Amino acid sequence: MPIYAYRCASCGHAKDVLQKMSDAPLSTCPACGAESFAKQVTAAGFQLKGSGWYATDFKGGAAAPAAAAAAPAAPASSEPAASTHTCGSSCASH
């Protein structure tokens, strides 16, 4: 079963919930009771194992595809990138 990240738009309460894919999304915040509890878009964590195409074709830092090589490089900046991650100190993704 996947783990979904939820966040309340009213009070900011965040919670990870283990749910079946067929379960209806939660909408009521367990902290404040508001109907603004919604799923967040998060990156899936996974690890590829074995000897599939990812190990044989991309292992060892092969040359970049032509489309990526033709793209202009981003300008260098002396300022650090601003973080948009606002989950607080209780986040397990750090």
pLDDT tens for 2-61 read: 889 999 999 999 999 988 889 999 999 999 999 999 999 988 766 666 677 766 676 665
30: helix, coil or strand? coil
Burial-class residue 8 by CB neighbours within 10 Å (0-12, 13-18, 19+): buried
The reply to whether 76 falls in a domain is: no
> How many domains does the chain fold into?
1
The reply to whether 61 falls in a domain is: no
pLDDT (tens digit, 9 = 90+) per residue, 60-85? Answer: 655 555 555 555 555 554 544 444 54
pLDDT greater at residue 7 or residue 90: 7
The reply to whether 7 falls in a domain is: yes
pLDDT of residue 82: 47
The reply to whether 81 falls in a domain is: no
Q: Which residue has the tokens 């607080």?
A: 88
The reply to whether 6 falls in a domain is: yes
pLDDT of residue 83: 46
Quote the domain boundaries for residue 34.
1-42
Determine the Cα angle at 85 with ends 83 and 87, to 5°: 145
Is 50 exceeded by the pLDDT of residue 93? Answer: yes
Residues 56 and 63 sit within 8 Å (Cβ to Cβ): no
Q: What is the CATH number of the domain that holds 23?
A: 2.20.28.10
